[in-house]
Structure 1
Amino acid sequence: MPLSKQDITYIRQAKTILDENFDQHITIPHLARQVGINEAKLKEGFKELYGNPIHTYLQHLRLEKARQLLLTTSMAITDITYHIGYSHVTHFTSLFKKEFGLTPSEWRKENKAE
């Protein structure tokens, strides 16, 4: 599905909303309505422009933010979980370990020492 200049503008607006509100519960239907594009075009166009589906992009954004917090703060893992928009520590921990190969506490321990 070819993207018009206007579609690209809407998709970039959607990415900005995700970047600024990564800690919120954001649904694709709501995001599509917010920027004024249909869901299918948003999903396909987002993947075309940014290389990942919206869900994957948002998950990666959250995990990167968690890594920054682990490195630069002494926030508890539970607090970081909620701060980045997850409601279950076990879910966050398993996503983090899958992405980075270590649990958040292991990652913090290894990287704080450097």
Structure 2
Amino acid sequence: MKEIWKHFDISPDNITLSECGIQQFLPNQTYSYVVTEKFVLHYIEKGHGIIRINDRTYSSNGHNGYILKQGQVVTYSGNRNDPWKTWWVGLKGSDLEEFLKRTRLNDQDVLEFEEKSPAVLLIKEICKTTERNHEISDFWYKKKTYSLLEALEKEFSNDKIIILNSNQDIVEQVYAHICKNYHSPLKINELASQFGISRSRLFTRFKERYGKTPKQFILIMKIDKARQMLDETSDSVSEIAQKIGFGDYFTFEKAFKKSTGFSPTEWRRRIH
């Protein structure tokens, strides 16, 4: 059931709003269509569902937003028990393609917004205000559109993209990146976005190649380094936990014991 779906006829600009909408899906609701808008950005507020974009299928379990582009064939399917609710805005304009090239939005179908994302707040403000008031000035929409573009550019900037080595397989590059950055906060969705591959595709190919999922491999790297540091340094367990990227001692201790059968302290004592 669409709570709102409004198309705009705002005076021409370099980039302008073309539509906005809010939709609460019904259980098992499914429908398909061909995208006519230049660019449509959705935010999944809650619930679950499946979206098929051309020949690629995604579950909302792995992301909280998706991008539609003109000409794509799209099928939505709401979950039977917990159908999703989405908010969206459409954009058009002569400078839109150039703007998208400066961001990670250009080559993606799905994405994860940051917690308390300014872009999400703006999408919801545009939709809510439109729902309440149908006599809003074009200038208000233009102001909000450019505020949204600024927020998107910051959140999905190209400087977060990893430049790929064309002579090396993407999965090998992800592997090397994890080995180098295991101590940093590594999220699988972000890794997939950085290397221009879907989360599900990365999961499948990484496991086929290395026998472990990316998440499992990250943990293995952390625990292996922790064992080395426990054996070769006098750093406290808390210091080691911090150095290998665990947020707190207790999470580290639990993960270490599950992996090795020893607590970090017991592991260190065994060689003395």
Considering the TM-score relative to the shorter chain, is it more than 0.5?
yes
Deviations, residues 76-99 of structure 1 (Å, cap 9, x unaligned): 000000100101111110111111
- Map 1:17-56; keep pairs closer than 5 Å: 17-56=177-216
**Does 2:254 align with 1:94?**
yes
Distance in 2, matches of 1:40 and 1:100, equals 29
- Stretches of 4+ aligned residues off by more than 3 angstroms: none
SS at match of 1:40: helix
What is the TM-score with the length of structure 1 in the denominator?
0.88
**Does 2:267 align with 1:74?**
no
Identity %: 31
Structure holding more helix per residue: 1
SS at match of 1:17: helix
- Amino acid corresponding to residue 50 of structure 1 in structure 2: Y
CA radius of gyration, larger in: 2
Higher relative contact order (CA 8 A, sep 6+): 1
**Does 2:13 align with 1:13?**
no
- Amino acid corresponding to residue 202 of structure 2 in structure 1: L
SS at match of 1:37: coil
Distance in 1, matches of 2:195 and 2:173, equals 7
What is the TM-score with the length of structure 2 in the denominator?
0.38
In structure 2, runs of 5+ residues without a counterpart are: 1-165
Structure holding more strand per residue: 2
How many matched pairs? 106
Partner of 2:243: 83
Give the CA RMSD over aligned residues: 1.3
Out of 243, 264, 269, the residue aligned to residue 104 of structure 1 is: 264
Distance in 1, matches of 2:171 and 2:186, equals 15
Alpha-carbon shift at residue 31 of structure 1 (Å): 0.8
